[in-house]
Amino acid sequence: MSFSWSAKDHKSYTNPPSNPTQGLKRPRNETGNKVIVVLGAQWGDEGKGKVVDLLATESDLVCRCQGGNNAGHTVVVEGKEYDFHLLPSGIINPKSICVIGNGVVIHLPGLSHYITFFSQFSDQVVDGIQETQRQATEGKIIGTTKKGIGPTYASKASRTGLRVCDLLGDFKEFSTKFKNLVEQYQSMYSSLTVDTESQLKKLKEYGERLRPMVRDGVYYMYEALHGPPKKILVEGANAALLDIDFGTYPFVTSSNCTVGGACTGLGIPPLNIGEVYGVSKAYTTRVGIGAFPTEQLNVTGELLQTRGHEVGVTTGRKRRCGWLDLVILRYAHMINGFTAIALTKLDILDVLDEIKVGVAYKINGKRIPHFPADMELLHKVEVEYETFPGWKSDTSAARKWNNLPQKAQNYIRFVENHIGVPIKWVGVGKSRECMIQMF
């Protein structure tokens, strides 16, 4: 069957209106409130929680848009340290409403301290089994947090996942879906055992406790965007180089932790994205395995690990450490369009005699013009460095730009100019008071 279209099919107006939009209803606050997005610019653990906590003091809404309890964000307020894995870091600000968006995978027991932890059946178990199988069959692992994030996103993509609306709907239907999911996993992993009825009982109880806190996310965010003026903050988990599409695949997480994840994970139109802040350490770290061109497997790496207390909040694993890599920062900027950068943990470099910065990658002595998608190629790159003299003085008490040593200022300006994004904050300690605001 074919269709044809002619000029006669076009609707014509003998007296077209002078104003084509006349009579159309316009929404309140037509352009909408702008959203600030905070994202990791490296492999995670950059200090996003600290930046979110700082911005949350002036925000009405603080939102998580992707990831799960594999994130580990540390905030220090008035000398007390808080670790957040699932809740937005703005939760300790009593004036902010915190939102966990549709793009986040929820570990129900981890969401509330007053629910007894249960894990006899959970994707955490499947995640651990998968890692064991990878080790046995391939001799290598991905290095997941074993928090069940990958299997949960996999079930979402295969349309067998369980959603909060399922839990709060017809529980008989939910039970059927749950049992089908159990059978599916047991057919793939024979060692997985599940007390189905016990877990359903706990899930039903938890669902009732959760019910008063659940809203339809699309309508809730629309009202927030188009209602009275509000400051809305989105906290990204993980980081650009862990993004499922743009990261160092397969050694990545299972969600989009770049700027697009803020839209799909909360139902926010791109039009409403305002400032996009990238967060980077003054050096580079990575948890787990995978290529790491500027890694320092020497005394320098050990010093950065020790001085920076580089241990994963979620896993407890030591982080691998190396020099700042401007190739990956430029790459992260290409994807996210950062409007400003927060450069954290500058004080960790205080004791070094000299400091190196990776500025380019080479293969066979020739610069390559882009960040390689092929991880085998990334393993082979040679890093071209710029070397700076260390400032050899304590910066932890600095609270203004002028308090920083000139050599530290030179280091910061080089980074800023090389990636082409202004540095808005410089971190010299754990607490929010240790963030020097530049503009």
Task: Write the pLDDT tens digit of every residue in 145-197.
Answer: 567 888 888 889 989 999 999 999 999 999 999 999 999 999 998 899 999 99
pLDDT at 19 (0 to 100): 55
Reply yes or no on whether the pLDDT at 202 is more than 60: yes
At residue 341, the 3 state secondary structure works out as strand
**Range 22-33 burial, b when 16+ CB lie within 10 A, else e:** eeeeeeeeeebb
Q: Is 349 helix (H, G, I), strand (E, B) or coil?
A: helix
Higher pLDDT, 88 or 416: 416
Is residue 28 within 8 Å of 227, Cβ to Cβ? yes
d(CA 389, CA 409): 12
Backbone angles phi, psi at 286, to 5 degrees: -150, 140
Q: Residue 16: CB partners within 8 Å, gap ≥ 6?
A: none
Q: Pick the catalytic residue from 34, 156, 226, 407.
A: 156
Quote the pLDDT of residue 100.
93
Taking the alpha carbons at both ends of the chain, their separation in whole angstroms is: 63
Please state the length of the chain.
439
Per the annotation, does 433 bind a ligand? no
The pTM of the full predicted model, rounded to 2 decimals, is 0.85
227 annotated to a ligand binding site: no
* Phi/psi at 50 (5° precision): -65, -40
Report the 10 Å Cβ neighbour count for 19. Answer: 8
- pLDDT at position 288, please? 87
344 has binding-site annotation: no
Q: Are 346 and 408 in contact (CB under 8 A)?
A: yes
45 is catalytic: yes
Contacts of 337 (CB under 8 A, 6+ apart): 259, 276
**Whether 62 contacts 52, CB under 8 Å:** yes
Q: Which of 69-73, 96-100, 391-395 has the lowest mean pLDDT?
A: 69-73
The active-site residue, picked from 8, 9, 25, 73, is 73
Position 30 pLDDT exceeds 90 = no
Cα–Cα distance between 73 and 162 in angstroms, integer?
Answer: 26
Known catalytic membership, residue 245: no
Return all residues near 318 (Cβ < 8 A) that are at least 6 apart. Answer: 305, 310, 311, 312
Tokens of 84: 């957040």
Q: Residue 191: CA atoms inside 13 Å, Cβ hemisphere, count? A: 8
- Name the burial class of residue 358, with classes exposed (0-12), middle (13-18) and buried (19+) by CB atoms within 10 angstroms of its CB: buried
Q: Which amino acid is at 266?
A: L
Pairwise CA distance, residues 155 & 201, whole Å: 22
Task: Return the half-sphere exposure (C-beta side, CA atoms, 13 A cut-off) of residue 29.
Answer: 13
Amino acid type, 252: V
Q: What is the pLDDT of residue 6?
A: 46
Q: Is 46 annotated as a binding residue?
A: yes
366 backbone dihedrals φ, ψ, rounded to 5°: -110, 135
209 and 11 in contact (C-beta within 8 Å)?
Answer: no
Which alpha helices (H) appear in 310-394, and where do they start and end?
A: 326-336, 375-380
pLDDT reading at 23 higher than 60:
no
Asked whether residue 417 is marked as a ligand-binding residue, the answer is no
Q: Answer yes or no: 202 catalytic.
A: no
Q: Which of 10, 25, 34, 45 is catalytic?
A: 45
Query: Which tops the pLDDT comparison, 33 or 119?
Result: 33
The conformation of residue 284, written as its DSSP 8-state character, comes to E
The phi, psi pair for 285, rounded to 5°, reads -135, 160
| Residue that the structure tokens 């743009």 belong to | 246
Which residues, 6+ apart, have CB-to-CB distance to 172 below 8 Å? none
Say if residue 347 carries a ligand binding annotation. yes
Contact status, residue 56 vs residue 62, Cβ threshold 8 Å = yes
pLDDT at 139: 54
- Residue 360 burial (10 A CB sphere; 0-12, 13-18, 19+): middle
Q: Which residues of 193-269 form beta strands (DSSP E)?
A: 232-235
72 is in an annotated binding site: yes
